Structure 1
Amino acid sequence: MSTASVPSPRAGVRTRRFRRLARTGFAVNGLIHLLIGGLALRVAVSDETSREADASGAIGRMADSPVGLVVVWAALVGLVALGLWQLSLGGRSSAPGLLARLGRRIVESGKGFASLTLAGTTLVFALGGSTSSSATIRRINTELLTSTVGVVILVIVGGIVLGSGIGFVAIGIRRGFRKLVRIPEGPTGTAVLILGATGYITKGLALGLAGGIFVVAALTGDARQATGLDGAVRFLDVPPYGTIALTLVSAGLVMYGLFLVARAKLAKL
């Protein structure tokens, strides 16, 4: 009798360890969103911040802590593991129907590349360097706007980001995140549902705004505000209601971060 399809105990141990590292990646992503929410709130209340309200600003804040180097290297390991795990899910989707499988593979692979991109930013800080996501995005956008093809690419990118935002909002409204985590009983489960719904909707609105700004930048030829999440945050910070709107978005990003921290324990892997 063939035993080729039976995993060895050692392989099972490696898989469990890899899953634990992937869970760490969720916790790291949650911490990053908590910091982004804090940075956005600082923009709302003081109209300035020394860090961008995006992933690079959050990771820079982590690196500035007393144990920053240790934290950043641990974050790097977790994000790489999470990215590889998400890519593996993209390669073995079992959704019914060809289009459903293809869609699931694209979504999971996109998540994996996003996590690995975040890991790349983390690596820069881990090696003692620094980077600015908004400055990089602005520089790329400025180059793209010099040609018709570049404008088309920028519109497509903006459309993808906008579509991702709509997807996040839909997940939050429908509570589609419930299939990603084990919802506990009682008040804890209620808290997870509230954090997930509010967090997904807020993250979706922020992404949608960022994507819309990309499209507007492409159509108007002005790349100054098309800087990703940080650009969306600063776009909201306008009178008379900017402080209120940005405070609500900040709170929502914090709630999304808390949901991701909870997902580190509750995720169905």
Structure 2
Amino acid sequence: MDAGSVMSYGQGKARRAARSRAVAGAARAGFAARGLIYVLVGVIALEIAFDRGGGGRQADRGGALGELADSPFGSVTLWIVGTALAGMALWRLSEAAVGGPGPDGAKPSRRAMAAARCAFYVFVSFSVLSYAAGDRGSGSGSSDRQTDDVTATALSWPAGRWIVGAAGTAVVIAGLWMSVRAARKTFRRRLRTEDMSRRARRCTDLLGVAGGTARGVVFASAGVFALVAAVRRQPGEAKGMDDTLRAFRDLPAGPWVLALVALGLAGFGAFSWCHARWRRL
């Protein structure tokens, strides 16, 4: 190999390293933005637990964006959050294209999951950025109304009940999967635990278990409501995140149950910040 080839190889390697650092930085920004949204959702849900009206606010992504919009420098914050979530989409796209870290990172199933997550974050980022640009009907829309509209449309199709039922079943399974993985602390494999202090590991474990379990419970509960909507052919039985959380309040000792779930969701937000700091990328 001549000197020119060696120089070209070195420059190419440097460019690849720079791109890798840029994608990693984008991913960490995305985790930080996701964490902020979940913390705000948890805070709103905690207030709803002991105030039936909840001040008219929604305990979902739309409600969280509304809180950000009403804060000092709200427009700037929304642009930052939307851009950071686009960074998360970029990172997932890179995983879909070339595989993620770890021995199983290049498996087709992992890359397909990364592609699906990329599509999700593209949608979320676009909705947040549209909201920041002044489209108040985007991003901040009620998850309950959106779920009702989507379910009603699906139920109007041939075999619509089976489609909604299958979707509900998938969401229930996904929620249970989230909770089980959180309880088993499988998230440790994706974190640089060797760089953490003992206190940081303990705190991260607590947030990961509590937050992941709460998130899984909310997902599974939303899936159950979708199944009920399919069986009864009533789209109004399906619930978005806000109505799902409010349903916990109607249980025996409901306010305390919802408060526990709300704290778990806020904990998941803080756990996302741990990912922003220690995630293997």
**TM-score under structure 1 length normalisation:** 0.91
Partner of 2:39: 34
How far 1:219 sits from its partner (Å)? 1.2
Within 1, Cα distance between the matches of 2:170 and 2:128? 24
What letter matches 1:21 in structure 2? A
Unpaired stretches in structure 1, ≥5 consecutive residues:
none
Pick one of 47, 63, 68 that aligns with 2:69. Answer: 63
Say if 1:42 and 1:48, in contact at 8 Å, map to a contact too: no
Partner of 2:200: 188
Q: How many residues align?
A: 268
Q: 1:235 to 1:225 in 2, by over 3 A?
A: farther
Q: Secondary structure at the match of 2:236?
A: coil
The worse-fitting range, judged by mean Cα deviation, of 83-92 and 72-81 is 83-92
Q: 1:91-141 deviations in whole A, cap 9, x for unaligned?
A: 3337778xx923212322232222222212212311112223321221121
Within 2, Cα distance between the matches of 1:64 and 1:111? 29
Within 1, Cα distance between the matches of 2:242 and 2:9? 48
Say if 1:56 and 1:121, in contact at 8 Å, map to a contact too: no
What letter matches 2:165 in structure 1? V
Partner of 1:53: 59
Say if 1:199 and 1:257, in contact at 8 Å, map to a contact too: yes
Say if 2:171 and 2:220, in contact at 8 Å, map to a contact too: yes
Q: Based on CA coordinates, which of the two structures has the bigger radius of gyration? A: 2
Within 2, Cα distance between the matches of 1:16 and 1:171? 29
What letter matches 1:159 in structure 2? T
Within 1, Cα distance between the matches of 2:9 and 2:142? 47
Alpha-carbon RMSD: 2.2
Partner of 1:113: 119
Say if 1:24 and 1:79, in contact at 8 Å, map to a contact too: yes
How far 1:186 sits from its partner (Å)? 1.3
Partner of 2:26: 21
Partner of 2:279: 267
Q: Secondary structure at the match of 1:147?
A: coil
Pick one of 147, 168, 171 that aligns with 2:178. Answer: 168
What letter matches 1:47 in structure 2? R
What letter matches 1:135 in structure 2? R
Pick one of 52, 76, 79 that aligns with 1:73. Answer: 79
Within 2, Cα distance between the matches of 1:71 and 1:32? 12
How far 1:53 sits from its partner (Å)? 1.0
How far 1:239 sits from its partner (Å)? 4.5
**TM-score under structure 2 length normalisation:** 0.87
Say if 1:60 and 1:125, in contact at 8 Å, map to a contact too: no
Say if 2:83 and 2:129, in contact at 8 Å, map to a contact too: no
Within 2, Cα distance between the matches of 1:105 and 1:9? 25
| Identity in percent | 30
Q: 1:180-235 deviations in whole A, cap 9, x for unaligned?
A: 11121211111011111111111111111111111111111122242322221022
